[in-house]
Chains A and B, each alone.
Chain A
Amino acid sequence: MEQQYPVLIVIIPMFTAMVLTLAGWFKPAVCQPLAVVGLLGSFLSAVATLLQIGAGEVISYRLGGWEPPFGIEYRVDSLNALVLVMVSLVALLVAIFARKPVEKELGNKISNFYTLFVLLVTGLLGMTITGDAFNLYVLLEIAALTSYALLAMGRGRAYMATFNYVILGTIGACFYLLGVGLLLIKTGSLNMADIGTILPKLVGSETVLVAFGFLMVGVWIKMALFPFHGWLPNAYTYAPTATSCLVAPLMTKVSVYIMLRIMFTVYSADWIFNVIQWKPVVMVLAVVAILMGSFFALAQRDIKRMLTYLIVAEIGYMVGGAWTGTAAGLTGTIYHIMADGLMTVCLFMVIGSVVYRKGKAHFESFKDAFQSMPWTMGALIIGGLSMIGVPPTCGFFSKWYLISGAYQSSDYAFIVALLISSLVNAILFIRIVETAFFSATPSEIPDPHAHHEVDYADSPVSMLIPMWVSALALIAMGLYTGEIVTRWILPILPGGLI
């Protein structure tokens, strides 16, 4: 049984999806509980896998029993085990959270929604766990197709936004496939670790270099790194609440993980930082992504849209951290993949609750929110503090490592960009909190000292619980930073870093 955990992570939600289709076609009410049960199973398997892995170990699971590179292999080290736990946890929380908003927004498509939801999670988990470059492509497409459908369920402007995403997403996926093809033509293998052992013999091959370019551009489009970010804000803004809660935290983070895999497992740190001289260019992209995301976020009145621009900025954090070429920077990136997943889901759930109660997520919707939705706003504050990077939330520690890495590699522009983005985040969240806290201005209403009563109308408990779990997870993760870093991240850092 123990050795089957890796595959269970993926196939439990997959079977759940099939059962959901059949059961949900006749009785939609059973969908949400089934989805929660399935994702819980997946989450528990992911945790069990994570705990199985010793320092620096790799668990290899042979699908179909064929030895790699001939069969498909699942390779789990503590890097993807961590990402798996994050993904399945976030998915589980959103599945619990989704019940009410889905009933409200997608009343007659509940079974479709949960089927696609669970399949999207399957795709993301499969992308994370697989050790095979082509298997990754297939699951990438599963995740992409489900996310197209889920985003397009938002109707109205969502269709056009999603269409743009379909086009760009397909370009991204095709570039990835083309990159895999070029690697296949030079190495004859699809297994990432196997390619990784062959590539060093091909030093100087232009094909390998161009393949790297295609792979990188492909994942950058998928993760919406500047200048490929154009599709993201619209697509996520017009999506249904539950969809954006799931897609926003996970899609981009998993793409970042894939970038790390390509960089450090398929290719090697030594090749990337010593042979090719791309680092300055990528660092510029990361810095511009951070600055641009932050400033566009500043200009938004719709909070959901504002958060989507913050995602663009956070992508810059992670790409920049990985490309500093330092152990600390890479640690920061890996840590931030998880931290940012949790932060984003927490904030999107908060926004989702506000939309659920007030219909919109404009600044005006937040008026008096502290009186009417105190618990929701509490979660907003914790999520916001983590975005800003206030200790002891985990946002602080990811910044700590990222800045350390940038300092070691003398990327001072990146440090400055990180700090500016923190400040912008601070301003943004101060603005929201101010509106939510102090909008009832005693001097502006006729009787300044009259007790200003606002009806208590917080989100339902089914939405508050996942929201607070994610908020508390932010703090818990911050407090256990040392543990996480020393036990799981440091042992798997590739050689060849500063």
Chain B
Amino acid sequence: MEWLQINYNYLLVIVLLMIGLWAMIGKNNLVKKCIGMCIFQNAIIMFFISMGVKAGSTIPILNYTKIDGVKTYLTEASMYANPLTQILMLTAIVVGVATLGMALTLVQKIYSEYGTCEEDEILEKLN
């Protein structure tokens, strides 16, 4: 139980990863595959973000104090969440959007070509 409490964020990510991967490979409907892809990518994003969390920290925008009217920024690293993982995931989100757009484009083309989004029906029509 304690183990679950400590690791629940990772476990959640793992469950999402499994769902996503399973849907990507195993689902018959192409749109569901795309949804699986989305879940998979978002699970990775969550993984990265949760690795950058520091207990009791705030967003990585520096706070300041005014000493004699002069702004002094506080640069104690443990005060702020990890900016690096957030940046990486900003990129990963954009990549995810682009990939999803491309996949949906193809689904649209396939649908107008074969009139269906079910993989087995398409394969039947191909042969």
Contact, chains A and B (beta carbon distance below 8 A): yes
Known: A141-B98, A174-B41. A152 touches B92 (CB 8 A): no
Residues of A near B98 (CB, < 8 A) are 141, 145
Q: Is the CB of B106 within 8 A of A185?
A: no
Q: Is the CB of B122 within 8 A of A181?
A: no
- A162 and B17 CA atoms in complex are apart in Å by 23
A419 within 8 A of B: no
Q: Is the CB of B44 within 8 A of A170?
A: no
Q: Which of B30-65 contact A (CB under 8 A)?
A: 30, 33, 37, 40-41, 44, 47-48, 51
Q: Is the CB of B51 within 8 A of A184?
A: yes
Q: Tell me whether chain B's interface is mostly helix, strand or loop, or mixed.
A: helix
B75 within 8 A of A: no
Q: Is the CB of B21 within 8 A of A181?
A: no
- A177 and B21 CA atoms in complex are apart in Å by 14
A381 within 8 A of B: no
Known: A145-B102, A167-B37. A181 touches B51 (CB 8 A): yes
Residues of B near A159 (CB, < 8 A) are 106, 109-110, 113
Tell me which of B17, B95, B106 contacts A141 (CB under 8 A). Answer: B95
Residues of B near A160 (CB, < 8 A) are 110, 122, 126
Q: Which of B9-39 contact A (CB under 8 A)?
A: 17, 21, 24-25, 30, 33, 37
Residues of A near B92 (CB, < 8 A) are 177
Q: Which of A147-173 contact B (CB under 8 A)?
A: 148-149, 152, 156-157, 159-160, 162-163, 166-167, 170-171
A178 within 8 A of B: yes
Known: A160-B122, A167-B24, A185-B51. A141 touches B99 (CB 8 A): yes
Tell me which of A152, A170, A184 contacts B99 (CB under 8 A). Answer: A170
**Of A141, A157, A167, A178, which is in contact with the most chain B CB atoms at under 10 Å from its CB?**
A167
Residues of A near B95 (CB, < 8 A) are 138, 141
Q: Is the CB of A170 within 8 A of B24?
A: yes
Residues of B near A177 (CB, < 8 A) are 44, 92
Known: A174-B41, A177-B92. A166 touches B47 (CB 8 A): no
A134 within 8 A of B: yes
- A159 and B126 CA atoms in complex are apart in Å by 12
Q: Is the CB of A134 within 8 A of B106?
A: no
Known: A170-B37, A174-B41, A185-B51. A163 touches B110 (CB 8 A): yes
B107 within 8 A of A: yes
**Of A141, A148, A149, A170, which is in contact with the most chain B CB atoms at under 10 Å from its CB?**
A170
Q: Is the CB of B24 within 8 A of A152?
A: no
Chain B, interface residues (CB within 8 Å), range = 20 to 34
Q: Is the CB of A163 within 8 A of B99?
A: no
B74 within 8 A of A: no
Q: Which of A109-160 contact B (CB under 8 A)?
A: 134, 138, 141, 144-145, 148-149, 152, 156-157, 159-160
Tell me which of B21, B40, B48, B102 contacts A149 (CB under 8 A). Answer: B102
Known: A167-B24, A181-B44. A162 touches B37 (CB 8 A): no
Tell me which of A138, A157, A166 contacts B106 (CB under 8 A). Answer: A166
Q: Is the CB of B109 within 8 A of A152?
A: yes
Q: Is the CB of B91 within 8 A of A138?
A: yes
Tell me which of A148, A149, A163, A185 contacts B107 (CB under 8 A). Answer: A163
B103 within 8 A of A: yes
Minimum C-beta distance from A113 to chain B (A): 16
Residues of A near B103 (CB, < 8 A) are 163, 166-167, 170
A428-453 interface mask toward B, CB cutoff 8 Å, 1 = contact, 0 = none?
00000000000000000000000000
- A185 and B105 CA atoms in complex are apart in Å by 35
- A299 and B4 CA atoms in complex are apart in Å by 53
**Of B25, B48, B102, B106, which is in contact with the most chain A CB atoms at under 10 Å from its CB?**
B106
Minimum C-beta distance from B123 to chain A (A): 8
Residues of B near A141 (CB, < 8 A) are 95, 98-99
Known: A160-B122, A167-B24. A178 touches B47 (CB 8 A): yes
Minimum C-beta distance from B124 to chain A (A): 12
The residue in chain A whose Cβ has the minimal distance to the Cβ of B99 is A170
Known: A152-B106, A159-B109, A166-B103. A181 touches B48 (CB 8 A): yes
Residues of A near B110 (CB, < 8 A) are 159-160, 163
Q: Is the CB of B126 within 8 A of A157?
A: yes
Beyond A159-B109, A184-B48, 5 additional pairs, beta carbon < 8 A: A134-B91, A141-B95, A152-B109, A170-B99, A181-B44
Would you mind naming 14 contact pairs between A and B with Cβ atoms under 8 Å apart? A141-B99, A145-B102, A148-B102, A152-B106, A159-B106, A159-B110, A166-B103, A167-B37, A167-B103, A170-B37, A174-B41, A178-B17, A181-B51, A184-B48
